[in-house]
Amino acid sequence: MNRTTLFNNWAIFYDKSIGKNPIGYPFEGYYTVLKSINDKIEINKTTKILDIGVGTGLLTTQLYKRGGKIYGIDFSEKMIIEAQKKMPKAVFYCSNFENDLPDKLNDIKFDYIVSSYAFHHLSDNKKLSFIKSLLLKLTKSGKIYIGDVSFKSKEDMKQNKLKFIDDWDHTEIYFIADQFLEMLHKNNIKANHSQISFCAGVFELIKT
């Protein structure tokens, strides 16, 4: 089964499958990650927010309710259908962000670009190059928030991989926070990282 079919089949059950208080790899801290990002975002009448890998809209629904103008990208048409139920006036694009952003977004600048549990499909080099392109899509004082499975260090990930080896997804490329921060800083990207749970964290990237 290819990934698009997998996520299309998962869409209607996705919210329920995570559970109200997930414990263990990979979703422990999931809702705290979403809340952490939501709490950092200031909304006014013109605030534009781009959600990369919008899924069923769990990250941006509260921002939508607060009046944010939401744009969402996802490769799964069925995930977008679920997100649109929560955010009927949002703008969605069925597109694989791994192949860059849709052309219709070329002339739009965003106050915030956010993402939750989507970047782990990219290699670290692709993560970096994509972030560089996203920084160009921000308004003057714009920020990027990326929440995802992440570990403090390579050793930390190694220990947790052994602990959860029966459930570990070997196809995904998780953030190793200290290494990725070093990559960002070497590329003159202002960033910080907050570890939310043993397997989840949030990166904040600031346009300079």
Cα 94 from chain centroid?
Answer: 16
pLDDT score for 77: 96
Residue 49: in which H helix or E strand, if any?
Answer: strand 48-52
pLDDT score for 7: 86
Integer Rg of the chain from CA: 16
pLDDT score for 65: 97
| Domain limits for position 87 | 3-206
The CA distance from 114 to 177, in Å, is 18
In the structure encoding, which two tokens stand for residue 122, read together? 């990219």
In the structure encoding, which two tokens stand for residue 158, read together? 């190694």
pLDDT score for 2: 81
Residue 39: in which H helix or E strand, if any?
Answer: helix 30-40
With 0.75 as the threshold, say if the pTM is over it: yes
Residue 108 belongs to a domain with what CATH number?
Answer: 3.40.50.150
pLDDT per residue, tens digit, the chain (208 aa), is: 687 888 878 889 999 999 999 999 999 999 999 999 999 999 998 999 999 999 999 999 999 999 999 999 999 999 999 999 999 999 999 999 988 899 999 999 999 999 999 999 999 999 999 999 999 999 999 999 999 999 999 999 999 999 999 999 999 999 999 999 999 999 999 999 999 999 999 999 998 7
Instruction: Look at the chain and report how many structural domains it folds into.
Output: 1
